[in-house]
Chains A and B, each alone.
Chain A
Amino acid sequence: MKFIVSIKMVPDVYAPFQIKDGELLMDGDRMVLNAYDASAVEEALVLTEKYGGDVEVVCIGAAKASETIRKALAMGAAKGYHIQTNGDEAYDSSSYAQILADFLKDKEYDVLSFGKQSQDTDSGLTGGMVAQLLNLPYATNAVGLEIEDGNLIVKRQGDSGQEMIALPTPCLVTCSNDMNEPRIPNLKGIMASKRKPVESVAVSDMNLDGAALEAVSKVTSYSPVPARAAGQKFEGEPEEIATKVAQLLDTEANVL
C-alpha cells in the first residue's frame, strides 16, 4: 500500500518560552517533528515493511521545515513534499487542510495518514477536514493499524472502549502516539536521507483562493496559565505523613 503521511513541524514544548504583552516569545530554533506524526510515520513504515508499499511525507511550513522532512526520511520514508510558506502567515487547521486537500487531490495513495493532533495546539481538526474535503472514509485517534484484504483496519480509542473499523482504500486515518514508539533514525538512515528526493512547491504558486486560506480561528493573545497556590510537601515517617495528609484532606481541603 502507498501511504502519504502529513507531518508538521512544531515548537518543542520543552523549550523555554515567555509571554510578554500577550505575545509568545520562544526560541524559533527549537522545532521538532510533531510526536503524533512521528507515530503515523512509524506505523506506515511498519506496515509497508510487512506488506510492501511506499511511504511518502508531506509538510507545509517555512524553509526550516525541511529539517522535519529530513527526519522522516531518515526514519525510512522514501520521498518528501515540502509545501513552502513564508512562516509569517497566521494559518490554522482549516488553512492547512485547504492546502493539503488541494495538494493531495491528484496524488496517488491508498492511505493518508495524519497525527491525531498537533502537539503545540492540540486542535485535532486537520485530519477530519481533509477527509471531508477529499470525500474519503476516515477514522481518528487510531491506536493500532493493520491491513486486511486491501482494507485498512483501524483500532480506535473511543469513548466506551476500542472500536475496530474497516476502511476501504483510499482512506484517511489520524494516529495517536499510543500506537507505537517511533524509531529514532540511525546514522545510516540519516546519511541515506540526504539523497532522498524532496519536491518543493510554494503555497503562493498553488493557485489557491487566498480568502479560503484565511484562518477561521485567530489567536489574539497568549496568557499564562493561572498558577496553582503553592502546596505543602511532607517528608518523614511514612505512617505519620500519610495519616497527616489524610486528616488534612478531611479537615482542611474538605474533599472526603
Chain B
Amino acid sequence: MSTLLTYVAISDGKIKRSSLEVLSHCKSIADAGGFSCEAVIIDENASSFTDDVQKYGASKIYTVSGDAFSQHQNGSLLKALTKVNESVSPALIAFASTESTKDVLGALAAQLKAGVVADVSSFNFDGSKVSAQRPMMAAKIMGNVDVTGNPILVSVRSGSYDLNENPSTAEVVSLDVSVDSDDLRATLREIISATGDTIDLNEADAIVAAGRGVKDEEAKNLISELASVLNAGIGASRALTESGVYDPSLQIGQTGKVVSPQLYIAVGISGAIQHVAGMANSKVIVAINKDADAPIFEVADYGIVGDLYKVLPPFIEEIKKIKN
C-alpha cells in the first residue's frame, strides 16, 4: 500500500496550521484511493505534538527529535527528511509551503532523485502520478501539471484546503537522526525575530494590509486600530516593507506571503499584480484607495474610493459599534 507522508511543520513552538490543512487533504486522498496516510514531525520536542496531529487522521506519526532541530537549518532538516524517506519509502511527501520547506524542497528533490512540484493550490494522487494546479505568471493563470517520480514531493499553498478533523489513534514511531557539522555545512549565527505583530498571517481570519498610501504615524495608528478591533493580522505591500515601515515578514504577494483570510482589507494599496498574487484568494476583499482607477478595485468585493485618513476613522467606529 502506498504511503502519503505529510511533513508537519513546527514554527515558534506551534504546529503550522497550513500543514494540518495539507494533512487533512492527504487523508481524504488516502481514504479515496486506499493509501496509507502518515505524518512526520521534526522538532526538538517533536513528540509533544503527536496528540494534535492524530486528530487529523494520520495512522502513523514519525518523530525526529533533538537539539539540532530547535531552529530551522536546511542542513539538519535535509538530513532528517532523507532518513525519514529511507525508513518510510513513501510514494508522496506533502509539505505546506513555508519559508522553511521552500528552503529544502529543491535540495531534497535532487538528493532523493524525486519528482517535485512546488506551491500548488490543489493536487491529487492516483497511485503513480500527482496532478496539480498551480498559479503561474504572477498568478494570472493556472497551470495544470503532472508529476511523476518516486517519491513525489508536493508543497501546497496555505489556505488551499480546509482543516478536517478525523480523529484516530496513530502509532508513534520515533526515528533517530544525528546531525553533525558536515551535515550542517553552514553556521546559523542568529535569528532576528520579526518585530511587532504576533498573528501569523497564514492563519489569520482577517488581515489589514497597508500600502504606500500609509505615509505617516497617524496612518499607521489607524491601521493598528482597525486591526485591533477586527483582531486581524497586519500585512503590508512591498512598498512599505522595503522602506522599513513594516517588518519584512509582513510582506504579502509574489515575493512575500500568500494568504487567504476570510477578510482582507487593503488600505492605500494600488493592486499591482505581484501584490494581488498573494491575496486574491481571500474570501472577502475590501479596498480603500483614493484613486478610483486603482487596479485593486478590480479584485475588491467592496471598494471605498476615498482618502484613508477620512475613511478609516468612521469605518473603525462603525465596526466597533457592530462588534459591541
Are A and B direct contacts in the complex by CB distance below 8 Å? yes
Distance, CA A128 to CA B75, complexed state (A): 11
Expressed in whole angstroms, the Cα–Cα distance for A234 and B206 within the complex equals 21
Smallest CB–CB gap between B277 and chain A, Å?
8
Which residues of B line the A interface, CB within 8 A?
A: 9, 11-12, 16, 71-72, 74-75, 78, 98-100, 102-111, 114-119, 131, 133-149, 185-194, 206, 230, 238, 241-242, 248-249, 251, 254-255, 262-263, 273, 280, 283-286, 292, 297, 299-307, 310-315, 317-319, 322-323
> A203-256: which have CB < 8 Å to B?
216-225, 228-229, 231-235, 238-239, 241-243, 245-250, 253, 255-256
A163 & B72 in contact (Cβ 8 Å cutoff): yes
Show 15 A/B contacts (Cβ-Cβ < 8 Å), sorted by A.
A11-B137, A124-B102, A129-B107, A157-B248, A159-B9, A159-B16, A160-B191, A163-B190, A218-B145, A225-B135, A225-B140, A234-B304, A245-B315, A256-B319, A256-B322
A178 B116 Cβ-Cβ under 8 A? no
Contact of B189 among A14, A164, A238 (CB under 8 A): A164
Q: When the two chains form the complex, which single residue of A129, A235, A243, A255 contacts B109, counting CB atoms closer than 8 Å?
A: A129
- Which residues 118-135 of A sit at the B interface, judged by CB distance below 8 A? 119-133
Say yes or no for A166: interface residue by CB 8 A criterion: yes
Q: How far is the CB of A226 from chain B (nearest CB, A)?
A: 8
**CA gap between A185 and B29 in the complex, in Å:** 51
Q: A-B pairs with the 7 shortest C-beta distances?
A: A128-B106, A137-B185, A246-B318, A132-B110, A125-B106, A238-B310, A242-B315
Whether, in the assembled complex, A68 has its beta carbon less than 8 Å from a beta carbon of chain B, the answer is: no
**C-alpha spacing A233/B186, complex, angstroms:** 52
Q: Which residues of A contact B117 (CB under 8 A)?
A: 217
Contact status B148-A119, CB under 8 Å: no
Q: Contacts A161-B194, A216-B149 known; A255 to B283 CB distance under 8 Å?
A: yes
In the assembled complex, A13 has its CB within 8 A of some CB on chain B: yes
Interface residues of A in 142-177 (CB under 8 A from B): 143, 153, 156-168, 171, 176-177
- Contacts of B292 on A, CB cut-off 8 Å? 233, 235
Tell me the complex Cα distance, A214–B187, Å: 35
**Which residue on B lies nearest to A172, using beta carbons?**
B107
Interface membership of A140, Cβ < 8 A? yes
CB atoms of A122 and B136 under 8 A apart: yes
Is B188 within 8 A of A253, CB to CB? no
Determine whether A73 belongs to the interface, using a CB cutoff of 8 Å to chain B. no
**Neighbouring A residues of B302 by C-beta, 8 Å:** 231-232, 234, 245, 248-249, 253
Q: Which residue numbers of A lie inside 8 Å of B, CB to CB?
A: 11, 13-14, 17, 19, 22, 24, 36, 93-94, 97, 116, 119-133, 136-141, 143, 153, 156-168, 171, 176-178, 216-225, 228-229, 231-235, 238-239, 241-243, 245-250, 253, 255-256
Q: Quick check: A94 and B193 within 8 Å, CB to CB?
A: no
- With A139-B186, A249-B302 in contact, do A158 and B146 touch (Cβ < 8 Å)? no
Output the least CB separation between B303 and chain A (Å). Answer: 4
- Taking CB atoms, residues of chain B closer than 8 Å to A130 are 110
Establish whether residues B311 and A124, one from each chain, have CB atoms under 8 Å apart when the complex forms. no
Give A26 Cβ to nearest chain B Cβ, in Å: 9
Which residue in chain A gives the minimum CB-CB distance to B130? A217
- Expressed in whole angstroms, the Cα–Cα distance for A219 and B148 within the complex equals 12
Collect the chain B residues with CB atoms within 8 Å of residue A176's CB.
255
- Closest-by-CB residue of A relative to B303 is A233
Chain B positions within 8 Å of A159 at CB level: 9, 11-12, 16, 72, 98-100
Q: How far is the CB of B97 from chain A (nearest CB, A)?
A: 9
- Residue of B whose beta carbon sits closest to that of A155: B192
Does the CB pair B263–A245 fall under 8 Å?
Answer: no
